[in-house]
Amino acid sequence: MFDNTFKLSRFMLKREKATSAIWLLSIVIFNALIILLLSFVMAPLPEERTQLMSMFENPALLAMVGALHPEYGVSNIDMGYVFTLFMMVMVAVTVAIMNIFLVVRHTRADEEAGRYEVLRSLPSGRLANINAAMISAVIINAILAILTALSMYFAFRLGDSGFSDFSSALLWGVNMGVVGLVFAAIAALFSQLSSNARGALSYSFFVLGLAYFSRAIADMDMNAGSEGFAYISPFGLISRTWVYADNNWWPVFVVLGMAAVITALAYWLCSIRDIDQGLIPARPGKAKGGMLMKSPFGLNLRLKRLSIIVWIIIMLSVAASYGTILEDIETFIGGSEMYRQLMLSPVPGLLETLEGAPPEEVAAVMNAMLEQQGYNVIQMFANMIGFIMAMISAIPVLMFILKAKSEEAAIRAELIFATPASRTGYLSGIVIISFITAVLLQAAQAIGMFSLAQSMGIADRLPFSFLMKSMLVYVPALWVMGGLATLLVGLLP
């Protein structure tokens, strides 16, 4: 059943040496940079950290990032504790996404492309491929755990030696590794249930969303009887390790147990299903194609329709989650010199005026001077968030254009070119879809943030017209990125 597993593992790791290396380095370097930013810039002084922690009195922010320790609450201003609150769940979600792509790429996607059948024609066991994929995931996640722990430890030593606790950094890294293993197992399971890679990815991301929101329900109010939701989610369990506070290790073993059970189920399903088949039957298509299927543009739009809808929902949700802190942002910026420097420096004379204002009057003075310029603090914060979210919008814009290259590599584009369709027209259609998607995603962000502002009763301070302008202003930049990607698709073999 498992013959030549280790040969396949070595083969998969060779294939992953670029892709997984980029993922690992990105996560580790990003972690370290955020620690240094917190240590040197964002909250170097205790009063700055206190102001930062006061934001966690907002339940919506807890739902977005994670739970407060039941004993410490917002009173603990240890830098490691602050970093864990802001970053653990977000980094864990990124690690989960990496593992879902990793396992689906080497199981269902290889099977769909016909590579799995070639491997099975060689002297390899029936479960060798899925076993090799899981062994590769174990190795990659172990490397991630070690690198994360070491980078955090040395980043904290460089930033502030008082917070350089290696045992906490090690637990932080191990949390990332075990979360990765759970979602690698979930991806392996759905690779057996689904009949194609797209379905395996969709089901896996659906479970990821459920895990995130079940944790959010528990974290919003731990005293409301919803704490049990945290223990059915890997994200909720690792947040209960209380890194840099209690350093509990027992949730790690519970998450490992989850991964083991799901992996065993995936192995059993793989042993009983047929090659190129999933246990969930594929939905039969229509006997005749609709109007969209009569042109290359329509075909590409039909294939990307679901992805566009999913990304619009994602951007609506992300914008709404950022909107949860709009009510508190004036108080926070008024009490944080760093954020005043970051956001208010473009306004002439404002920072100099605020230096002499009493602390209790900072917010009022700040708003009075901004209103003379036709703005307010909430609008400036929304504008800054728009820049961050525009970078997220660039992901699907580039993905859709680069799909042209992957379709060509898979010899599916050749079937279109065999018809009376020009290569230029085919690529132009993909570019148009990508550019329209950029506009839709930016508009979705404005709608998501405005809807939350309206529910909070602050819509008069954050008009929809302002939000739409501040989001759509990044569309040309997204088009430039898409144009560069198109140029590379045309130039490179």
- Distance from C-alpha of 427 to C-alpha of 490, rounded to nearest angstrom: 9
Instruction: Specify whether 242 is located in the same domain as 345.
Output: no
pLDDT of residue 352: 60
Contact 187, 99 (CB under 8 A): yes
Instruction: Specify whether 222 is located in the same domain as 369.
Output: no
How many degrees, rounded to 5, is the angle at CA 446 between CA 441 and CA 450? 145
Instruction: Specify whether 33 is located in the same domain as 155.
Output: yes
Q: How many residues does the chain have?
A: 493
pLDDT of residue 116: 75
Instruction: Specify whether 434 is located in the same domain as 321.
Output: yes
- Distance from C-alpha of 204 to C-alpha of 102, rounded to nearest angstrom: 12
Instruction: Specify whether 265 is located in the same domain as 179.
Output: yes
More confident residue, 336 or 247: 247
Q: What is the mean pLDDT of the chain?
A: 81
Q: Which of 284, 310, 345 is the last residue of a domain?
A: 284
pLDDT of residue 79: 74
Instruction: Specify whether 91 is located in the same domain as 223.
Output: yes
Instruction: Specify whether 182 is located in the same domain as 299.
Output: no
Instruction: Specify whether 324 is located in the same domain as 351.
Output: yes
- Distance from C-alpha of 442 to C-alpha of 429, rounded to nearest angstrom: 20
pLDDT at 472 over 80: yes
Highest mean pLDDT of the ranges 126-140, 153-167, 415-429, 449-463: 126-140
pLDDT of residue 85: 80
Q: How far is CA 108 from CA 95, 113, 236, 276, 286, in A?
A: 20, 9, 29, 8, 24
Instruction: Specify whether 423 is located in the same domain as 280.
Output: no
With bands split at pLDDT 50, 70 and 90, how would you rate the model's confidence at 324?
low
Q: How far is CA 70 from CA 75, 77, 80, 151, in A?
A: 11, 14, 17, 28
Domain hosting residue 353, numbered range: 292-493
Highest mean pLDDT of the ranges 356-365, 413-422, 471-480: 471-480
Instruction: Specify whether 193 is located in the same domain as 257.
Output: yes
pLDDT of residue 271: 86
Range 264-285 average pLDDT? 81
pLDDT of residue 456: 74
Instruction: Specify whether 314 is located in the same domain as 448.
Output: yes
pLDDT of residue 319: 81
